[in-house]
Chain A
Amino acid sequence: MKRFLPVLPFLWLGAFVLLPVVITLKISLSAPATAQPPYLPVLDWSAGLEGWGSFLEALDFTNFETLAQDALYRDAALSSLTLAAIATAILALIGTPIAHAMARAPARMQPILLALVIVPFWTSFLIRIYAWIAILKPEGLLSAALMKLGLIARPLEILNTQGAVLIGLTYAYLPFMVLPLYAVLAKLDPRLTEAAADLGAGPVRAFWSVTLPLARPGLAAGALLCFVPMVGEFIIPDLLGGSDTLMLGRVLWSEFFSNRDWPLASAVAILVLVLVLGPLLFFREADRDGREASR
Chain B
Amino acid sequence: MLDIENLNVWFGDGRDRVDAVKAATFSVKQGESFGLVGESGSGKSTILRAITGLAPHWSGRITVDGTDLGKRRDRAFYKKVQMVFQDPYASLHPRHSVDQVLSETLYLHGVGDIDKRVSTLLEDVGLGARFRFRYPHQLSGGQRQRVAIARALAGEPKLLLLDEPTSALDVSVQAEILNLLTDLREDRGLTYLMVSHDLPVVSHMCERLAVMKSGEIVEMMGVETLRKMTPSHPYSQSLLGASVSHKITA
Interaction A to B: no
On A, residues with C-beta under 8 Å from B are none
